[in-house]
């Protein structure tokens, strides 16, 4: 708390005036362009690595950047994550949903361990809210990951914005990342399918008026990857790929 209080005092001296100016420009009617779902990991600072500012996007964070599938709820408003979808996509009419996973995700590392029946037992879930959360909402990702049986040269199939719009993914074909990081990438893509499961978004998705994207952040290199449906894989966002990614977004989401 002492460090946080010192930070607040520095903010008052260095940044408060400029932020108040931004708040005044946005006033009472900000127009965010995206909702950004990511992990609560303390190393993830999405507004910094996307260079976004006041009023640019909604941010929803939890353990493992999970968005529960609509099948888990009788009422679509019984969880923070779908409530965030409604606030951003229905009430505020934003056009882009972004899910961002990352390397060395402690939630995904634990999810990988939960493939053990002993670790994911009912008794364990009763005493661990985190295990219960992951077993309930990360199981689909884990099942899909385990179906690969370690052979990531094979393609994985995901449902996209609509059941008719599917996409293929090759997970870490260059074998650069750990097995848990591979699971993290699978999980990030699975959330796109989960987002699309909500009936309140169906019409906009069918009209291509709402778009769902996947990013993945390598916390050790600072590199950010974009899932390219054209390339069927996560590709690094840099000077050599920027135009390629931009052209795909314009083509696919126009």
Which segments of the chain have a pLDDT < 70? 74-77, 119-120, 164, 253-254
| Whole-number Cα distances in Å, 165 to 4, 122, 158, 226 | 46, 36, 9, 19
Whole-number pLDDT of residue 250: 87
pLDDT tens-digit map of 23-36: 988 887 888 999 99
- Domain map (residue ranges) of the chain: 1-30, 31-252
Report which of 66, 65, 86 is spatially closest to residue 75, judged by C-alpha positions: 86
CB 236 within 8 A of CB 223: yes
Whole-number pLDDT of residue 161: 74
Whole-number pLDDT of residue 254: 63
Strand partners, 35: 58, 97
Whole-number pLDDT of residue 28: 79
CATH number of 31-252: 3.40.1050.10
Strand partners, 167: 158
Q: What is the pTM of this model?
A: 0.92
Looking only at the bridges linking them, the beta strands covering 156-159 and 233-236 are unpaired
Whole-number pLDDT of residue 142: 95
Whole-number pLDDT of residue 2: 95
CA dihedral 36, 254, 245, 220 (to 10 degrees): 10
Look-up: residue for tokens 């009912």?
Answer: 122
Half-sphere exposure at residue 183, Cβ-oriented, CA atoms within 13 angstroms: 29
User: How far is the C-alpha of 66 from the C-alpha of 211, rounded, in Å?
Assistant: 18
User: How far is the C-alpha of 209 from the C-alpha of 211, rounded, in Å?
Assistant: 7
């Amino acid at each position: 708390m002492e460090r946080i209080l010192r930070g607040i005092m520095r903010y008052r001296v260095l940044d408060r005036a400029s932020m108040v100016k931004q708040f005044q420009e946005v006033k009472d009617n900000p127009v965010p362009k995206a909702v950004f779902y990511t992990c609560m990991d303390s190393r993830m600072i999405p507004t910094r690595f996307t260079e976004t500012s006041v009023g640019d996007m909604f941010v929803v964070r939890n353990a493992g950047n999970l968005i529960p599938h609509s099948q888990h709820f009788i009422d679509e408003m019984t969880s923070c994550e779908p409530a965030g979808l409604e606030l951003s996509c229905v009430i505020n009419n934003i056009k882009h949903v972004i899910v961002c996973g990352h390397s060395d995700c402690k939630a995904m590392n634990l999810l990988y361990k939960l493939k053990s029946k002993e670790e994911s037992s009912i008794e364990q879930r009763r005493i661990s809210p985190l295990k219960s959360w992951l077993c309930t909402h990360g199981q689909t990702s884990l099942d899909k990951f385990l179906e690969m049986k370690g052979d990531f040269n094979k393609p994985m199939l995901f449902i996209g914005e609509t059941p008719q719009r599917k996409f293929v993914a090759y997970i870490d074909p260059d074998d650069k990342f750990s097995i848990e990081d591979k699971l993290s990438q699978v999980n990030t893509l699975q959330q796109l399918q989960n987002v699309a499961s909500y009936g309140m978004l169906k019409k906009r998705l069918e009209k291509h008026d709402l778009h769902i994207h996947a990013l993945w952040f390598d916390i050790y290199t600072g590199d950010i990857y974009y899932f390219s449906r054209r390339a069927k894989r996560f590709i690094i966002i840099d000077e050599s790929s920027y135009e390629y990614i931009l052209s795909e977004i314009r083509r696919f989401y126009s």
